[in-house]
A and B are shown apart, each in its own frame.
Chain A
Amino acid sequence: MKNLEELKKIRERVKRDLELRTGKHRIKIVVCLGTCGIAAGARESMNTLIDLIAKSGRSDIIVTTSGCAGFCEQEPMIQVYVEEQEPVVYGKVDTKAAEEIFEKHILNHQIVEKYLFTKGK
């Protein structure tokens, strides 16, 4: 360790890892990762989302998983929870759709009608 700069570099490297645990999140994206979801490519969509979050540098967005919601034909499905707004469920979210939803809904709070499955609880 030569100087504080080196410390800072290490801190940047483990930042995302530790932020998961600090618990201050404004937006939660739930990816349905049941067998049906995985078969339909949910894991790829999820990885896209994770990469996009990392690229955006935002620390208040988290991704979690859940199982099959019972609408297997709509998979891959994702639910978007923005603080103080009603949850939005998207269906048939491939990697391209994930990018679009991230860009429009997550970053700019516009619902992407094209992939909308349902709104509210």
Chain B
Amino acid sequence: MNDKSITQVLVSIDSNTVLSGARQIKTKLITELSRQGISEEVRVIETGSIGPTNQGVVLGVFPGGELYANLTEEEIAEFVQERFVKGRTYQKRLLAEKLPEEMMLQEYDSRKTQYYGRIVLDNCGRINPEDIEEYIGVGGYEALGSALQEKTPEEIINIIQASGLRGRGGAGFPTGLKWSFTFKEKKYPKYVVCNADEGEPGTFKDRLIMEGDPHKIIEAMVIAGYAVEAEQGFIYIRGEYKLSIERLQKAIQQAREMNLLGENIFGTDFNFDIQIKIGAGSYVCGEETALLNSIEGYRGEPRLKPPYPAQYGLLQQPTLINNVETLANIPAIILNGPDWFRNFGTENMPGTKVYTVLGHVNRPGLIEVPIGITLREVIYDYAGGISSGEFKMAQIGGTAGDILSAEQLDVPLDIQSLQALGHNLGSGALLIMNDSISVAELLTSCMKFFAHESCGKCSVCRIGTEYLYTACNRLRKGEGYADELENMRDIATTMKLTAFCPLGQSVAQPVFSALKYFKNELSKSIKQNKKSFSPTREKNSKVIYYS
């Protein structure tokens, strides 16, 4: 670039800030700067999410990296005058003196001084997601180049396996193993699918990754394609993610123009291209086999497993399906090696995790932290503590996640520690609640969601979700049957054991954990003299109880 700019204003344009008027602010900034005659010196650049949410429009001013939030259109003239003409910080809307070098939100808290580094969100809020050259400027597509020119598919799979990377979509399956399954199948063509159907309520990490750094996903998919010998990729993306779709399309276009997608990539005989498939808003389509059905144009209902997608996936061909966040780790692992990756996180689950922290905290937003830090650290060190009242509970991993109480605040957030308690890490949503929320209320809203989203293929889930919803609703009103809690446990157990797909099975998670940690509170919602009609249970039946 041969422009003369010496100051850059990064305007965070993501789906949150767009709603607060980020686009108008950007236009207004440009007009104001040219009115002041300094548009040559100060360049306005679009970027993805910088980190804080619920803070209106967020701007970063570089060099230095002051962070401004909640700016309104009317203030822009004053802001430009103060900050760029007079060269002073605009105190009124200053959020932080310095954009956190290491990690979003981290600098806000002086107690945290350790350098963690970011892997997934490395470029989010730093580069212009709509400019492929900026991505290349920060080292983008180098992993792809070195993979294609210097490594065999087996070597790449070995690197991923050695890194210990596990899927970040919720189930935590070892990624390298998944790749090796698809690689072993010798039936062509094969496919690579990126699961960007992020439907878990409260989770929006994938959206911010795609909005902030779309090229990273494309690069990772091409690497995956090379490693499993596929030539076609699909990104199955949630239809509501308009901005992500727009930016991914732009990124694919740019990559094609530079021949980073297409034929003979990097002068090798490897070809790969990507298509975007837009979902129509069904929760169950985040389940991999339902997603494949949806891509094929069928009703989004899950398939029976096995056979797994690695053997019979898209169009009955071997298919590799990875979550957005999982893929976002790939280029860095290829470039820096598996040992580097193991510096982060725990032995069993190396790396970082992107969480969306929301609810009753002072600073809701997006953070990327090493796997294994505790809920207490997330709340008090990163999210600025509870905004009002006392901490009561947290639901981790979205609506299908477990409800934890204050006693579990110090449990490390990694798969092994959580599984020891019968819990899952889930997708990365951390919903923090204070004592103003009742457990029955929370459960009701979860169950309402599941009853709505159950696809109806298996009766266990179709009927079970509906029953649990009505049961929770009774508890919410304080009109529970005498044996309500036992009935709920029965239904949830049946669902966990017999539901066709993970949607129905995971409904049990919030129910079990609520019964485990908040039984006293739930019992108070029961009217002892009220009898239930169904389901009937024999006195000495041998029901397998979970947890």
Contact = CB atoms under 8 A, between A and B. Distances in A.
Nearest to A19: B63
Contacts, number: 101
A21 B1 contact: no
A21 B149 CA distance: 31
B137 A21 contact: no
B397 to A, nearest CB: 33
A38 B41 CA distance: 13
Interface string A29-53: 0100110001000000011001000
A10 B140 CA distance: 11
Contact of B87 (A15, A21, A62, A64): A64
> Which of B137, B141, B258 has the largest count of A CB atoms less than 10 A from its CB?
B137
Nearest to B146: A4
B149 A25 contact: no
B145 A7 contact: yes
Contact of B141 (A7, A14, A62): A7
Interface in B252-272: 258-260, 265-267
Contacts of B37: 38
Interface stretch (B3-11, B401-409, B427-435): B3-11
Given A18-B134, A23-B101, A1 B266 contact: yes
A114 interface: no
A50 B6 contact: yes
A84 interface: no
Contact of A20 (B63, B88, B139, B267): B63
Chain A, interface residues (CB within 8 Å), range: 20 to 34
Contacts of B60: 21
B41 A3 contact: no
Interface in B12-42: 37-38, 41
Nearest to B255: A1
A65 B266 contact: no
A13 interface: yes
Contacts of B98: 23
A17 interface: yes
Interface of A: 1-4, 7, 10-11, 13-18, 20-21, 23, 25, 28, 30, 33-34, 38, 46-47, 50, 62-67
